[in-house]
Amino acid sequence: MSNTKKVFSKEVSLVLCGKAGQGIQTIEAILTQVLNIERYNVYATKEYMSRVRGGSNSVEIRVSEVFRYAFTERIDVLFPMDGDSLDHMADRVSSDTVVIGDRDHVHGKFDTSIPVFSVPFAEASREIGDEVYINTLIAGFILSFFNVQMSSVEKVLRKVFARKGGDIISNNIKAIEKGMQLAVEYEHDHPLDICIQRYTENDRNVFMSGTDAVALGAVSGGCNYIASYPMSPGTGVFTALAGFSKNLGIVVEQTEDEISAITMGLGAWYAGARAMVSTSGGGFALMTESVSLAGMIESPMVIHIGQRPGPATGLPTRTEQGDLNFVLHAGHGEFPRVILAPGTIEDGYELTRLAFDIADKHQIPVCILTDQYFLDTLCGGYSKEMKIQKIQHYFIETSKEYQRYRFTEDGLTPRGIPGFGDGLVCVDSDEHDETGHITESFDMRKRMMQKRMSRFSLLYEDEVEPFFSGDKDVSTLIVSWGSTYGVVQEALEIMHDSTVSHVHARQVFPVPETLKHYALDANRVIVVENNWSGQFADLIEKEIKKPVQRIVQYDGLPFGVGNLAKRLREALI
């Protein structure tokens, strides 16, 4: 064991690793919530195998004096919780990593250049009554380095274990205290010192996951109906809205399959509701015929798709941005659509809320494209007050002469709903005339196609502006979309290259005019994305008609800050 002390004054990357079912998520919940209450900048992301028990799962918790929103490969302090953890984390452990764990998990596992600290966590948890408390005990040990108030810890424990009863809560409080006591007992041999400054802003008090942000954005957007069939990682949004349903009057339907989910959603929009479905790529595959139905009947629809690596089942608990092309071209025939891709917690909330307005106003399907990494990441930093917005409905009260598909100058016919007015609201999945009745007239077909497709021009009027940072008169433009925002932004901060700027697309289709202008003005465009071919790069190339470079990753893991900075430097040579 090395006695070299490591001091962390700006940031620390804590990683806990163990097998599924060992309670790593419990430690994550305790640590992140307590540190957030204590006004630390906290970021946490997890990787886990597709199994209920066994395997190796890990969580990274970054605590920093500045706000961070990116995964880093660097491990400052590693807590291995079983014998397989060290092998699983071997590629990320360096001579700068401090390893803290039970003797059986750390003894003889590393050379003497790596600081290893043996603590009898299992023995101490048995003194409380059961090794099940080892998770909370380790959390207490870690929290001791941050000088937190015990009142904050107890508040979180009562929340985390609320359903377990008073005895369980009491024993977990004892476990926290025991963990803190262990840290004091071994203080003379501590291998690390953490003295990170807390933040002082009063408005940074919202701490949530990407899943929470999308679900709350749906609530703010007036979602009052959700139908879904469970499929990770999209299930979290469905269950979150189910949790809100009783208090907010949201109708929740767990359907027998994804086909039923989206058709029921379309039925809800037809009746005047604001509906949503949440799924993943495999589930969306079953929805594609009904996406075309939305296009034909000019119905609003909001579809959340949490991406994961394919094809087929692929890596069901890992991350990728591999479904952009699929979502872009899903459904037979041609019809307008919008694809939004949140990159931050703020985006998750704001863009989901906006999706309902865009769908309602333009009578089109709107897809919200996230991924496992975005949905499972936890962080603070929301700087706006989150309020349920006043909902603007875009349907009208119909007259007896109402025609659902009446030709208009801009191609957008006012939408009626059954029972609101005297008109007949007739919709048909076949080609139809202005009244909504089936037709095989070639001339009517041509005019209806022109009517539907002409609404593309209206979408550009309401496009979501990309985020831009840097100097507009630079030679190189880095483009990110969706969950790659944070890692690109931080990698560029590390590089300190004044010749490089960053534009982040929050709307990926239609490609915003502003983004096209940025790309056309730059000498070189490099797109960073988590897929094999560079799907957004292909789309940008098609739009601006000039070559675009690609930096891609497709191993099921998110980009890491250090590796991306290295690859960007190499690309700029």
**For the chain, domain boundaries:** 6-194, 207-380, 395-460, 467-572
Q: Is the CB of residue 404 less than 8 Å from the CB of residue 369?
A: no
Instruction: Give residue 482's pLDDT.
Output: 97
**176-210: burial string, b at 16+ Cβ within 10 Å, e else:** bbbbbebbeebeeebbbebebeeeeeeebebbbbb
Instruction: Give residue 305's pLDDT.
Output: 98
Does the structure show a pLDDT above 80 at 156?
A: yes
The mean per-residue pLDDT over the stretch 167-187 comes to 89
Q: Which residues 6+ apart lie within 8 Å of 275 measured at CB? A: 223, 224, 225, 226, 227, 264, 265, 266, 268, 269, 301, 302
N- to C-terminal Cα separation, the chain: 42
For 291-330, what is each residue's pLDDT tens digit? 999 999 999 999 999 999 999 999 999 999 999 999 999 9
For 5-57, what is each residue's pLDDT tens digit? 788 999 999 999 998 888 888 999 999 999 999 999 999 999 988 877 778 89
Instruction: Give residue 383's pLDDT.
Output: 59
**Of the CATH numbers 3.40.50.970, 3.30.420.40, 3.90.230.10, 2.60.120.10, which one belongs to the domain with range 207-380?**
3.40.50.970
The mean per-residue pLDDT over the stretch 113-124 comes to 84
| pLDDT band (50, 70, 90) for residue 384 | low
Read off the pTM: 0.95
Q: Average pLDDT over the chain, rounded to whole?
A: 92
Does the structure show a pLDDT above 90 at 428?
A: yes
Residue 332 vs residue 189, higher pLDDT: 332
Does the structure show a pLDDT above 90 at 363?
A: yes
Does the structure show a pLDDT above 60 at 573?
A: yes
Instruction: Give residue 1's pLDDT.
Output: 43
Instruction: Give residue 40's pLDDT.
Output: 93
Residue 158 vs residue 382, higher pLDDT: 158
Same fold, 6-194 and 207-380: no
Whole-angstrom CA distances from 418 to 173, 269, 452 are 57, 11, 22
Amino acid of residue 386: M
Compute the half-sphere exposure of residue 376: CA atoms within 13 Å on the CB side of its CA: 27
| pLDDT band (50, 70, 90) for residue 542 | very high
Instruction: Give residue 49's pLDDT.
Output: 86
Nearest to 336, CA basis, from 295, 369, 288, 291: 295
Distance between CA atoms of residues 307 and 482, nearest Å: 11
For 456-500, what is each residue's pLDDT tens digit? 999 998 999 999 999 888 899 999 999 999 999 999 999 999 999
| pLDDT band (50, 70, 90) for residue 413 | very high
Residue 386 vs residue 490, higher pLDDT: 490
| pLDDT band (50, 70, 90) for residue 193 | confident
Does the structure show a pLDDT above 90 at 101?
A: no
Q: Is the CB of residue 144 less than 8 Å from the CB of residue 180?
A: yes
Distance between CA atoms of residues 49 and 318, nearest Å: 8
What CATH number has the domain spanning 6-194? 3.40.920.10
Instruction: Give residue 2's pLDDT.
Output: 46
For 198-246, what is each residue's pLDDT tens digit? 887 655 567 899 999 999 999 999 999 999 999 999 999 999 999 999 9
Compute the half-sphere exposure of residue 449: CA atoms within 13 Å on the CB side of its CA: 8
Residue 466: cis peptide before it, omega within 30 degrees of 0: no
The mean per-residue pLDDT over the stretch 421-435 comes to 97
The mean per-residue pLDDT over the stretch 388-416 comes to 93
Q: Is the CB of residue 462 less than 8 Å from the CB of residue 358?
A: yes
SS3 101: strand
**Of the CATH numbers 3.30.565.10, 3.40.50.920, 3.30.470.20, 3.90.550.10, which one belongs to the domain with range 467-572?**
3.40.50.920
Does the structure show a pLDDT above 80 at 536?
A: yes
